[in-house]
Structure 1
Amino acid sequence: MAQTDAHTELPTPQFDKPVKLLIVQSPYYKEIAEGLLTGAKAVLDAAGASYDVVQMPGALEIPPAIRIAHVQSNYDGYVALGCVIRGETTHYETVCNDSSHGLMLLGLQGACLGNGILTVENEQQALVRADPEGQNKGGGAAAAALHLIALSRSYASETKGVGFKPKSETILVAGRGEGTTTA
């Protein structure tokens, strides 16, 4: 068994406006999924965030579910929870790679999300990582989503300016001679 090194955990961000997240959980391995969900809820509750929970059949359905919500809803962020345990076939690699890649693409497109999909060799490894009293990766995924929301909000009020014009609060636009000339 590998030695567990201490790692740094950033303090949970504080928010002055409400934060709402969607937790997308695959209950394929029920005990593991419930442990991850318990950890995620604890972190979100401590941060004062509200959340909804939806379930998908497996890890491959989690990225499309988040994409649907990201496009059609008003959530600030997302938490992906599930578990993939290595089996006897190469299906493990497909599920791990595709679900991870899907989540990364969503993040690069601006979705504030935490990846709590465990990819492990056996059930014991998953149980350790889903233990609400231990190194719960569901809580870590929720914290990651909160940090990305905080970062996103910190940049939301800044504007970059237009063309050669320095950034300002008002941008003049061409009008038809009537109505407003600012955007």
Structure 2
Amino acid sequence: MAGHEIHYTLPLPVFDRAVKLLVVVAPYYKDIADDLVAGACAVAHDAGADVDVIEVPGALEIPSAIAMAGRMTDYDGFVALGCVIRGETTHYDTVCNDSSRGLMMLGLQGACVGNGILTVENREQAVVRADPAGQNKGGAAAAAALHLVALSRKWARQTKGMGFRPASASDQT
């Protein structure tokens, strides 16, 4: 069982200037969402990040909200939080796959997104994973976003040396 395995966790990155994170949460299962948010905010604050939290109706709306925020605001990173519990229909598969795919597409476009949308078989699994004193998947999602922000800032200072360079005065004589 996965509960008995030991997993390595990267230490939180250190930043030379403040990080702004937006936590986007779907509070369909409010108690679980609250635990996810508490874990995410605690980890973000441990790294010195400023955090704003917004709620959206469901997990399918999380990627859309992050995409809008990415276009319209100045957040450095995003944390996606919610919970999808398997039900009696295939709607579970649609919500899990499409929300995950949406977040992955945002990441491939350069957004720094930590995915903390739980996809579980039952409520008990969700409670264990959301608990900030337990598996703390909200905190893990915040840490993932912070690590991506750190990489983004590191690589933003680098240039590939491609393209045209402006003409200097000596080139024009």
TM-score where L is the length of structure 2: 0.94
What is the aligned partner in structure 1 of residue 95 from structure 2? 95
The alignment status of 1:62 with 2:62, answered yes or no, reads: yes
Amino acid at match of 1:130: A
The one-letter amino acid paired with 1:118 is L
Q: Which has the larger radius of gyration?
A: 1
**Inter-partner Cα distance in structure 1 for 2:21 and 2:37:** 13
Q: 2: CA distance between counterparts of 1:2 and 1:112? A: 27
- Structure holding more helix per residue: 2
Deviations 1:57-87 (A, max 9, x none): 1000000000000011100000000000000
Q: Secondary structure at the match of 1:132?
A: coil
Show the counterpart of 2:137.
137
Corresponding letter in the other structure for 2:35: G
Is the counterpart of residue 84 in structure 1 residue 84 in structure 2? Answer: yes
Greater RCO structure (CA 8 Å; 6+ sep) = 2
CA RMSD in angstroms comes to 1.6
Read off the aligned partner of 2:153 and give its amino acid letter. Answer: R
Residue in 2 that maps onto 1:172: 166
Q: Quick one: percent identity of the two aligned structures?
A: 66
Structure 2: distance between partners of 1:55 and 1:90: 25
- Classify 1:25/1:3 alpha carbon distance in 2 versus 1 (closer, same or farther; 3 Å): closer
TM-score, normalization: structure 1?
Answer: 0.89
Q: Deviations over 1:97-154 (max 9, x none)?
A: 0000000000000000100000000000000001111111000000000000000101
Query: Counterparts of 1:113-132 in structure 2 under 5 Å?
Result: 113-132=113-132
Gaps of 5+ in 2: none
Classify the secondary structure of the residue corresponding to 1:84: strand
Find the counterpart in structure 2 of residue 38 from structure 1.
Answer: 38
